[in-house]
Structure 1
Amino acid sequence: MQQPFSPAFQPERGCFFRFSFILVEPFGRCYNVVRHDTGQNGPTQRRFEMGKLGAGKRFHRVLFFSYLLLVIYLMLFAFGRTKQWDTYQFSFTLTSIPLWIPKHFTMDIIEIWVFSLGNLLMFVPFGALLPINFPTACGKYGRSLLFFVAGITLMEFLQMITLLGSFDVEDILINAIGFSIGFLSWKISQKMKPPGRFVLFFILSVFAFTVLSLIGAEIINTIFFR
């Protein structure tokens, strides 16, 4: 059993340390960075205390990393990505927000619209899974969005340098909107109990924010990009 902290030992509040060492062994244990002040003018020492995760937290951690692996697979290997490009593909220009409400229904339009909507919804779960698994590092929207954007930018860069895809700032924008939908839906639903009620409120919130995002993208595109 993990011993409680004595007054001389206080948890380190730096999110980088907590986030990094939780990644070391995600499925079994978590590491707390603990600071030991040896005296008023003495050196500050750091050590690591290891504690077991509860069943609920372990399930969330497994769910997070399983979903992370799925997204990596979809971004680097799925949809015929094993066929490489001949040159680096990239786009650093934001020409529009690639979200809209379809006004005509042909197979080509529906296919493009579904792909764009999937680019949004695929990253909604991260908006909930990041703060659930890493409440200290990612409990606040700004900090969690920063972690997400850094990660998704790295994935876009990997797509480009491996010639398996392209680096596209519009994709990063859409992915970030999807993450934001997930985070806001989690914030609204997190106090709902039992779990079934939480899931229901989360799904309804995701639906509502998705519709608002489509409408908002239409308005912004009409004003600024046309």
Structure 2
Amino acid sequence: MNTKRMSGGMVIAAMLAIYMYIVVKVILFKFHSIDPHFIKQQLKAHWHSPEMIMDQLTFRANLVPFHVIFTYFEQATLHSWVNFAGNILIFMPFGMLLPLLFRGMSNPWLKVLMLSFTFSLGLETSQLILAIGMFDVDDLILNTFGGLLGYGMYRAWMMTGSPLPRNNGKPARS
């Protein structure tokens, strides 16, 4: 593996790590600082009283697919549209960066689907466990769709003959 390609991979990996940090920060902590003491308190409270998590799942969570999405369309407020679009847009870079980092992977759309879903599930579960948001199955749907849409944009970009480094003079398999 040549040095230029290896350094390009490290840059993409760094971009993915920074992107994921920003997503965690924005989704879990909004625009506040990350408070390790608060996180420790929340984890400790839920460890000793796991029924708190069940209460949140029962009374605050959305476990009905498309319930909130349909509400966005019914209400059509600025807040609902920002939330709808934001859940998609925030995951699009994820779908673009993964195939750049793991060039030549088999079934890339399936891997992007699974990794987008898993990353989103981790965020939603963290909101539940830390009681710093609401677990919402529709966020899983929209985030995963955003990852796939990002992958679709990556594919379209690759088909146009992008200036990305190529493997043996050919575009990366995807």
Q: TM-score of the superposition, structure 1-length normalised?
A: 0.53
Number of residue-to-residue matches in the alignment: 144
Do the aligned partners of 1:98 and 1:170 also contact (CA within 8 Å) in 2? no
Structure 1 residues 172 and 114: CA distance shift in structure 2, 3 A = same
Indicate the residue corresponding to 2:171 in structure 1.
none
Indicate the residue corresponding to 1:11 in structure 2.
none
Indicate the residue corresponding to 1:147 in structure 2.
115
Counterpart of 1:148, as a letter, is S
Indicate the residue corresponding to 2:61 in structure 1.
90
In 2: Cα distance, 1:96 partner to 1:69 partner:
26
Kindly indicate which of the two structures has a greater share of residues assigned to strand: 1
Indicate the residue corresponding to 1:66 in structure 2.
18
Counterpart of 1:182, as a letter, is G
In 1: Cα distance, 2:70 partner to 2:32 partner:
22
Residues 147-226 of structure 1 mapped to structure 2, 5 A cutoff: 147-193=115-161, 195=163
Query: How far off is 1:79 after superposition?
Result: 4.7
* Percent of aligned positions that are identical: 24
Counterpart of 2:69, as a letter, is I
Gaps of 5+ in 2: 43-51, 165-174
Per-residue displacement from partner, 1:169-211 (whole Å, max 9, x unpaired)?
0110011111111111111111434549xxxxxxxxxxxxxxx
Indicate the residue corresponding to 1:56 in structure 2.
8
In 2: Cα distance, 1:172 partner to 1:115 partner:
13
Kindly indicate which of the two structures has a greater share of residues assigned to helix: 2
In 2: Cα distance, 1:126 partner to 1:182 partner:
7
In 1: Cα distance, 2:75 partner to 2:62 partner:
27
Pair member with larger Rg? 1
Per-residue displacement from partner, 1:123-155 (whole Å, max 9, x unpaired)?
111111011112355752012211221121121
Do the aligned partners of 2:124 and 2:135 also contact (CA within 8 Å) in 1? yes
Gaps of 5+ in 1: 3-50, 197-226
Indicate the residue corresponding to 1:208 in structure 2.
none
Counterpart of 1:134, as a letter, is F
Where 2:13 maps in the other structure, the secondary structure is helix
Do the aligned partners of 2:91 and 2:116 also contact (CA within 8 Å) in 1? no
In 2: Cα distance, 1:135 partner to 1:101 partner:
37
In 2: Cα distance, 1:69 partner to 1:52 partner:
26
Do the aligned partners of 2:25 and 2:31 also contact (CA within 8 Å) in 1? no
Counterpart of 1:174, as a letter, is L
Per-residue displacement from partner, 1:43-86 (whole Å, max 9, x unpaired)?
xxxxxxxx996332222111111101100111111156979998
Query: How far off is 1:97 after superposition?
Result: 3.0
* Higher relative contact order (CA closer than 8 Å, sequence separation 6+): 2
Structure 1 residues 55 and 120: CA distance shift in structure 2, 3 A = same
Indicate the residue corresponding to 2:27 in structure 1.
75
Q: 2:87 aligns with which of 119, 125, 137?
A: 119
In 1: Cα distance, 2:106 partner to 2:146 partner:
16
